[in-house]
Structure 1
Amino acid sequence: MEWIRDHAWEAWLALAFVLAAAEIASMDFVLLMLAAGALAGVVAALAGAGGVLQCVIAAVAAVAALGLVRPALLRRLHSSPETPLGKDRYVGMRAVVTSRIAAHERGAVRLDGETWTATAAAGVVLEPGQPVDVIEIRGATAVVRPTVEGPEEMGE
């Protein structure tokens, strides 16, 4: 017990390293916040605080880190925009009509380097070479509408 009292900052530092290393296994940022509290214990020990005060400072720092730092860290790490996968990634892309599409007549478009069966939204007639926007994917059929904006990258 006397060794810990004489070497308190080393004990706190060892605890911080153990907690930080254990965090690698959990990846939940709880143990990392506890390690931050242990580092506050290192500072308190180096400043000459008594053992009880070191424990209080370490506990307050750990609770503060858990309550303030961890939620902000998790929000930042989990706030990436969702990337559409599968067929949903084609919605909003530009394509080019390769065979005529009419009201009740399927045609084809060149979308992302591939030929897709396509139908027109709202019963419009689309001619080959016309740029279109994909508004929906139904099974293996792209639902398209005429492009109204300026030229962009086409799905070729």
Structure 2
Amino acid sequence: MAVPLIWLIAALALAGAEALTGDLFLLMLSGGALAAAGSSALLDWPVWADGLVFLVVAVLLLVGVRPALRRRMNAGTGLPEPVRALEGKSALVLDRVARHAGQVKLDGEIWTARPYNENDVYEPGDHVTVVHIDGATAVVSKIA
């Protein structure tokens, strides 16, 4: 079997294993193996030189690219906070809120709503409190 093909199989195996971990470590090693496959196919170097290409490219990817990708992937963790801030706020019922339907005005916006207790029904004009947000639906309860 040709050496470039072995490096290519290793690159594909590492990329496939990365799909199971999601840590981006194996993906960087896969990039090194892909670079070794390319250098082996283009240049008639000995196998140890291909290994050196793998090592250098993999280390450069691990040190230079992986941290930036991880920061980019973790940057989205703060998005739900504004929605969580709506919990506990008062809302005005605009359209009858029952088990499967209803609308409330919350922070100047119209939200679909459902009652916290399935059997509760709130009529237009009632004031309710947002217990939590479930996707795009405000789960509400009567102000005591």
What is the CA deviation profile of residues 13-69 of structure 1, one whole-angstrom value per residue up to 9, with x for unaligned ones? Answer: 010011111111111111111000001101110122211111001111011111111
Specify the SS of the correspondent of 1:24: helix
The gaps in structure 1 that reach 5 residues or longer are 97-108, 118-139, 142-156
Q: Note if 1:21 corresponds to 2:16.
A: yes
Question: Are 2:36 and 2:54, in contact at CA under 8 Å, matched by a contact in 1?
Answer: yes
CA gap of 1:94–1:50, structure 2 versus 1, over 3 A, is farther
Structure number with bigger Rg: 1
Write out aligned runs for 1:89-100 (5 A): 89-90=85-86
User: Which residue of the partner structure matches residue 47 of structure 2?
Assistant: 51
Partner Cα separation in structure 2 for residue 49 and residue 12 of structure 1: 14
Q: What fraction of aligned residue pairs are identical, expressed as a percent?
A: 31
Q: 12, 36, 42: which one pairs with 1:41?
A: 36
User: Which residue of the partner structure matches residue 27 of structure 2?
Assistant: 32
Misfit runs of 4+, over 6 Å: none
Question: Are 1:40 and 1:61, in contact at CA under 8 Å, matched by a contact in 2?
Answer: yes
Partner Cα separation in structure 1 for residue 22 and residue 112 of structure 2: 40
Specify the SS of the correspondent of 1:116: strand
Question: Are 2:28 and 2:61, in contact at CA under 8 Å, matched by a contact in 1?
Answer: yes
Partner Cα separation in structure 2 for residue 38 and residue 113 of structure 1: 51
* RMSD of aligned Cα (Å): 3.3
Q: 84, 96, 107: which one pairs with 2:81?
A: 84
Question: Are 1:37 and 1:58, in contact at CA under 8 Å, matched by a contact in 2?
Answer: yes
TM-score (norm 2): 0.59
Q: 128, 135, 138: which one pairs with 1:116?
A: 128
CA gap of 1:116–1:18, structure 2 versus 1, over 3 A, is same
Specify the SS of the correspondent of 1:78: helix
User: Which residue of the partner structure matches residue 135 of structure 1?
Assistant: none
The gaps in structure 2 that reach 5 residues or longer are 93-103, 114-126, 130-141
Question: What is the total number of aligned residue pairs between the two structures?
Answer: 104
